[in-house]
């Protein structure tokens, strides 16, 4: 199919983004030159990066990856970034811990191996650093000088940090009522931080309009006009999980859903590894997790629908509070294709799960992590997730960002005078 150029957009045939060769519409297959485009001009479908992926012996590629840096750039041959990406100023996220969660496994009755991919270990403490690092390279390639986004909080911090490191201006937009921790963690990097009076979907709509206005000229919105590139960063979660499992696919994986992009890209990453011969081609199941107060994809899955009806969010899991998820239909396709499911849990179950992960594995996850583990527990109890199979659960952010969720139930056990008698009286001297 011929590659098209859209008049009026800065599409660039000569841009160097490594193995990326074009943008392709996921709906109708139309192809476009690499550029700051995100929606198909024919059908409005989402554009995805098309690659000329490495050929040759899988063993050679595996060795090349293993010899790379301990961050996502070890997978540069599979990403839309220039070959010398590791030498440029960026936040270099990734290669976070895959924790074998034996204590948690015992608690949940999982015998086939339970792992937590703990992405709180990224530079700004959430998985968003992965996607933003890729978007920075695209912004450079297209000559943008301001980096921007609509954000539920985590992304704002990741964009602020990455822009600071890359020497770009940043101006990010958030709902006005975000958790204070996330506001501070976004503002500290010195860029502009703008609260919008509305929810995330309102912020997103505002950004989509700004991008078509002269006011947004020269701006790279990581999750709007750079979204095809940005989203590819989530593939690195799939690559890392497989490499850390000894170049093996997990049998089951549970992934939180906000827009649904992360889930679709992890599936894409698994499929690429299979195609490249880096892992054995075997079945795997993908499960999606939502909070009950914002569960449009879960509701569609349970109703057997293939379209997602938007909802107005109301949940403590604000990083997942996207009522109109752009990739929802694809999440439904993937969950059904792989034999997985999409489920939701209420806010109380989210808090319980945050505390369960902290108590059993010493990992303090944010509310999105609580949603994911809560849904994992629910699906194990329902017999949907098989406890005898290898299962990976994502923790996509640090609990320090969402202290409000657990502060009421996580306080000092006792307050006593500094005396042994007082300590004895408190009854805490022995287990």
Partner 1 sequence: MSVKVRIPTILRTYTGGQAEVTAEGAKLSEVIDSLEKDHPGIAARVLDDQGKLRRFVNVYVNDDDVRFEGGLDAATPDGAGISIIPAVAGGC
Residue 115, both tokens: 């792992």
DSSP element (H, E) containing 100 = strand 98-100
As measured in angstroms, the least distance from the Cβ of 350 to partner 1 is 19
Binding status of residue 161 toward partner 1 by CB under 8 A: no
From 130, 191, 189, select the one nearest 161 (Cα to Cα): 189
Rule CB under 8 A: which of 232-251 touch partner 1? Answer: 234
* Interacting residue with partner 1 among 38, 75, 115, 301 (CB under 8 A): 38
275 vs 309 by CB, closer to partner 1: 309
From 368, 202, 392, select the one nearest 294 (Cα to Cα): 368
Q: Which stretch binds partner 1 (CB under 8 A): 160-168, 259-267, 278-286, 367-375?
A: 259-267
Binding status of residue 7 toward partner 1 by CB under 8 A: yes
Q: Give helix then strand counts, H and E, for the chain.
A: 15, 14
How far apart, in whole angstroms, are the C-alpha atoms of residue 396 and residue 124?
Answer: 11
203 vs 363 by CB, closer to partner 1: 203
How far apart, in whole angstroms, are the C-alpha atoms of residue 87 and residue 76?
Answer: 12
As measured in angstroms, the least distance from the Cβ of 1 to partner 1 is 18
Binding status of residue 213 toward partner 1 by CB under 8 A: yes
How far apart, in whole angstroms, are the C-alpha atoms of residue 371 and residue 327?
Answer: 19
Residue 126, both tokens: 């959430």
Burial 5-27 (b: 16+ CB within 10 A, else e): eeeeeebbeebebbbbbbbbbbe
* Interacting residue with partner 1 among 18, 35, 46, 369 (CB under 8 A): 46
Binding status of residue 224 toward partner 1 by CB under 8 A: yes
> Where are the extended beta strands (E) located within 236-348?
252-256, 285-291, 341-345
Rule CB under 8 A: which of 352-391 touch partner 1? Answer: none
Binding status of residue 8 toward partner 1 by CB under 8 A: yes
* Interacting residue with partner 1 among 3, 10, 16, 45 (CB under 8 A): 45
DSSP element (H, E) containing 174 = strand 169-175
* Interacting residue with partner 1 among 51, 75, 95, 200 (CB under 8 A): 200
Whether 235 and 78 have beta carbons less than 8 Å apart is answered as yes
Binding status of residue 131 toward partner 1 by CB under 8 A: yes
Binding status of residue 333 toward partner 1 by CB under 8 A: no
| Burial class, 336, CB count within 10 angstroms (exposed 0-12 / middle 13-18 / buried 19+) | middle
Binding status of residue 258 toward partner 1 by CB under 8 A: yes
Q: Which stretch binds partner 1 (CB under 8 A): 6-14, 80-88, 284-292, 340-348?
A: 6-14
Binding status of residue 177 toward partner 1 by CB under 8 A: no
128 vs 268 by CB, closer to partner 1: 128
Rule CB under 8 A: which of 69-98 touch partner 1? Answer: none
Whether 46 and 27 have beta carbons less than 8 Å apart is answered as yes
304 vs 362 by CB, closer to partner 1: 304
Helices (H), 231-289: 235-244, 261-275
Binding status of residue 325 toward partner 1 by CB under 8 A: yes
Footprint of partner 1 (CB under 8 A):
6-9, 27, 37-47, 127-128, 131, 150, 152, 155, 200-202, 204-205, 207-209, 211-213, 221, 223-224, 227, 230-231, 234, 258-262, 307, 309-310, 322, 324-327, 329
């Amino acid at each position: 199919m011929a590659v098209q150029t859209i008049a009026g957009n800065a599409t660039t045939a000569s841009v160097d983004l490594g193995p990326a060769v074009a943008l392709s519409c996921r709906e109708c297959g139309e192809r476009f030159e690499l550029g700051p485009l995100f929606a198909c001009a024919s059908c409005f479908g989402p554009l995805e990066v098309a690659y000329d992926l490495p050929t040759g012996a899988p063993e050679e590629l595996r060795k090349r990856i293993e010899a790379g840096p301990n961050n996502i750039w070890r997978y540069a041959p599979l990403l839309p970034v220039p070959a010398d990406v590791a030498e440029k100023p960026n936040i270099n996220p990734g290669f976070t811990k895959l924790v074998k969660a034996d204590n948690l496994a015992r608690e949940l009755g999982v015998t086939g191996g339970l792992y937590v991919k703990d992405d709180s270990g990224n530079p700004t403490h959430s998985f968003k650093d992965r996607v933003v690092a890729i978007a920075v390279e695209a912004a450079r390639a297209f000559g943008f000088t301001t980096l921007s986004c609509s954000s539920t909080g985590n992304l704002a911090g990741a964009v602020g940090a990455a822009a600071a490191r890359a020497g770009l201006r940043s101006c990010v937009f958030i709902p006005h009522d975000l958790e204070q921790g996330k506001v501070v963690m976004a503002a500290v990097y010195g860029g502009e931080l703008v609260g919008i009076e509305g929810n995330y979907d309102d912020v997103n709509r505002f950004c989509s309009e700004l991008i078509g206005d002269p006011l947004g000229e020269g701006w790279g919105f990581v999750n709007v006009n750079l979204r095809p590139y940005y989203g590819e960063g989530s593939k690195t979660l799939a690559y890392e999980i497989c490499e850390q499992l000894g170049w093996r696919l997990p049998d089951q994986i549970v992934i939180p859903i906000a827009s649904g992009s992360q889930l679709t890209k992890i599936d894409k990453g698994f499929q690429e590894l299979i195609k490249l011969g880096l892992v054995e081609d075997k079945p795997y199941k993908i499960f999606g997790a939502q909070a009950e107060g914002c569960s449009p994809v879960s509701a569609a899955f349970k109703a057997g629908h293939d379209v997602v009806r938007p909802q107005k969010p109301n949940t403590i899991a604000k990083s997942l509070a996207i009522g109109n998820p752009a990739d929802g239909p694809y999440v439904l396709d993937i969950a059904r294709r792989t034999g997985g499911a999409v489920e939701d849990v209420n806010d109380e179950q989210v808090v319980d799960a945050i505390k369960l992960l902290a108590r059993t594995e010493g990992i303090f996850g944010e509310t999105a992590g609580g949603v994911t583990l809560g849904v994992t527990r629910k699906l194990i109890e329902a017999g949907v997730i098989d406890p005898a199979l290898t299962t990976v659960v994502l923790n996509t952010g640090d609990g320090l960002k969402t202290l409000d969720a657990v502060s009421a139930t996580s306080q000092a056990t006792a307050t006593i005078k500094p005396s042994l008698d007082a300590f004895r009286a408190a009854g805490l001297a022995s287990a």
